Structure 1
Amino acid sequence: MSLTRRHFALSSSAALAAGLVLGRSGPARAGRTVKLSYQRSSTLLTVLKARGTLEERLGARGLGVSWHLFTKVLEPMNTGAVDLHADVADAVPIFTQSAGAPLTFYAMEAGSPRAEAIVVPDESPIRTVADLKGRTVGVSKGSGCHFILAGALKRAGLRFADIRPAYLEAADGLAAFERGGIEAWSIWDPFLAIVQAKRPVRVLADATGLSSYNRYYTVNDRFAAEQPEVVATVFSALVEAGQWVKANPSAAVALLAPIWGDLPPAVVATVNERRSYAVKAVDRAALSEQQAIADTFHEAGLIPRRLDATAVSLWQPPAGRG
């Protein structure tokens, strides 16, 4: 089956404009409904949704579950549109922190630096990151790949202003890359694996040496304070889902491929191989990489002020669940 933009496009223009699609919800209950968001790269949340894990576990507590698919995650994180937010690459919380969003970090997925990269068509004359000077480079604004691009340019002796950034959401970036509308693309899995399967490409740089590409899970401050047991339930389920994907690679591919738009199994397997899916509690000392990202973004003029990236709220799992 050909890999086209439809695999990751939302089903209607109205939904795309809103950035939101409602997924399957748990049964209506007398208690409140827990609202969770996810995005296309939210593998573990997708696994939990497909298997009905949280509907079962939270349902036993008298709670319903609703799922919300976002293509743009910054706005719902900033506005608190849901209770527990989609997992996001390390750079995204820098923008939410800069915006003053009331978010608590409750889990992190250990690094997967090969899961994001800057690529060009194999036939391109662009051979190195330094060759990107004056070129049009596609990137999703505020994403982890935004930092990889900024960091790689800095390492090559260039400023962000030395390129022509084309701010495109991932599905639009894939279409632009295919038709030659951009000369390079900074992108993450599964889109990276898709484009690598579709045509020969050259990787100019991945996150190695720039970022571990940790992914962070956040929850609204108030919800974390009022519903710690719900957060603990979701945390434990994420840990188990990550272990299941790694222990059952064939079953994981079979579950995810149709959800991700009938992707070829080899593409899904590549995505799952490059991601660690190792979920753990957030250690404040481990946020030092976040500071490097924040400093790079400030130097590039992407955030208006310097941040202490370690000054965020952390939720810790009860003893025996971390």
Structure 2
Amino acid sequence: MKISITTLLCLAFAMPVSAETLIIGHFGSPTPMQIAAAEKKYDEAMGFDIEWRKFDSGPQVIAAMASGDVKLAELGSSPLAIAASQGVPLQLFMLAQVLGEAESLVARDGSGIETLDDLKGKRVATPVGSTAHFSLMGALNHAGIAESELSIINMAPDQIAAAWEQGAIDAAFVWQPVQARLRETGKLIVGADQTAAWGYPTFDGWVVDQAFAEANPDAMAAFVKVTEAANQDYLKDPAAYGADSEAVQAIAAATGADPAQVPEILEGFTFLPAATQAGADWLGGAVGVSMKATAEFLMDAGRIDSVADDYSSFVTLAPISAAME
């Protein structure tokens, strides 16, 4: 049976076209954008079939992006400085959230830890190479405590929770939602908001493979728009995000967080509007300077071998500028 060219063309256009898969890395933090991700708003806006892949720490994200498997991901400011110093071809294009008490040092009840000085001789867990680790190092530096005066144990958040239950660690510097579980039987010693005031600021940002960003500018702008809309929905009425609200229930379902704890967790983050992020205090200038300062601190601490002269090339305003237009 002969089939005409016209028939073939009609058949081709009638067949559904599968969207290309895009893997986006994230930490599973209970934030407003999790609602948009669950509702597949990113898939629709960006034109990709998105696979959300959860990572336990920044070093895992760096490895996945360096391999080319992940093109876009959430990454903390400390591992971002590490990746940039190592020449990984990524760029920060949007802040996810500025970290406050959402990342904190919590001491287990009965550990005898009431202040930073009490950490000496104790077992403190944190995901090494993460923003939490950077904040812990900053707190120790501020208090004049050498790392050799305590045992810093490298653990993923889920491992920290298990070790805590077993009494195997005395304290942990970790993020939400695991931190909330620790505080049920522990005491907050210091948060990332305080370590930031001491000169060690931290944030989680969205980074992208540079070649992917250049090839997909519309998708990048769409990502910013969806994230901005989710954050603005929260910012316009935080009180509407009560434990029983549909929004919080959706966040809890997407992340595994306890709905009763989500409102407090959200208060521990600062979500900056895109217009603010584009300013000189953030992506428009200060972040590149802060990235270099973070790298210098990490090199002094023996975590990296070298620091670049300039980190501005690891920050781009293009997606936010396009989204704002």
In structure 2, what is the Cα distance between the partners aligned to 1:49 and 1:192? 23
Correspondence for 1:205: 190
Deviation of 1:308 after TM superposition, in Å, equals: 4.4
- Cα pair distance change 1:44/1:73, threshold 3 Å: farther
In structure 2, what is the Cα distance between the partners aligned to 1:220 and 1:267? 34
Query: CA deviation digits over 1:84-122, x for unaligned, max 9?
Result: 11x222212022123321101110135232211111123
In structure 2, what is the Cα distance between the partners aligned to 1:130 and 1:221? 43
Deviation of 1:169 after TM superposition, in Å, equals: 0.4
In structure 1, what is the Cα distance between the partners aligned to 2:51 and 2:113? 45
Stretches of structure 1 lacking an aligned partner (at least 5 in a row): 1-27
Residues 26-45 of structure 1: matches in 2 within 5 Å?
29-30=17-18, 32-41=20-29, 43-45=31-33
Stretches of structure 2 lacking an aligned partner (at least 5 in a row): 1-15
RMSD, aligned α-carbons: 2.2
In structure 2, what is the Cα distance between the partners aligned to 1:269 and 1:286? 28
In structure 2, what is the Cα distance between the partners aligned to 1:74 and 1:238? 22
Alignment equivalent of 2:119, drawn from 118, 132, 135? 132
In structure 2, what is the Cα distance between the partners aligned to 1:70 and 1:94? 18
Deviation of 1:320 after TM superposition, in Å, equals: 6.1
Q: Which amino acid aligns with 1:57?
A: A
Matched, 1:118 2:105: yes
Alignment equivalent of 1:46, drawn from 34, 45, 48? 34
- Cα pair distance change 1:296/1:92, threshold 3 Å: same
Correspondence for 2:214: 225
In structure 2, what is the Cα distance between the partners aligned to 1:114 and 1:172? 21
Contact in 2 for aligned 1:117/1:204 (Cα 8 Å): yes
Correspondence for 2:7: none
In structure 2, what is the Cα distance between the partners aligned to 1:260 and 1:34? 20
Correspondence for 1:314: 315
Matched, 1:254 2:239: no
Give 4+ residue runs of structure 1 displaced > 6 Å after superposition.
none
- Cα pair distance change 1:88/1:44, threshold 3 Å: farther
Deviation of 1:134 after TM superposition, in Å, equals: 2.6
- Cα pair distance change 1:240/1:309, threshold 3 Å: farther
- Secondary structure at the aligned position of 1:305 is classed as coil
Q: Which amino acid aligns with 2:321?
A: P
Correspondence for 1:57: 45
- Cα pair distance change 1:161/1:309, threshold 3 Å: farther
In structure 2, what is the Cα distance between the partners aligned to 1:254 and 1:309? 43
Residues 122-271 of structure 1: matches in 2 within 5 Å?
122-196=109-183, 198-199=184-185, 201-207=186-192, 208=194, 209-210=197-198, 211-246=200-235, 247=237, 248-249=240-241, 250-261=245-256, 263-271=257-265
Correspondence for 1:82: 70
- Cα pair distance change 1:110/1:67, threshold 3 Å: closer
Deviation of 1:51 after TM superposition, in Å, equals: 1.3
Deviation of 1:70 after TM superposition, in Å, equals: 2.5
* TM-score normalised by length of structure 2: 0.81
In structure 2, what is the Cα distance between the partners aligned to 1:111 and 1:58? 25
Q: Percent identity?
A: 26
Correspondence for 1:278: 272
In structure 2, what is the Cα distance between the partners aligned to 1:214 and 1:162? 27
Query: CA deviation digits over 1:225-253, x for unaligned, max 9?
Result: 11111111101111111112343413321
- Secondary structure at the aligned position of 1:216 is classed as strand
In structure 2, what is the Cα distance between the partners aligned to 1:260 and 1:66? 15
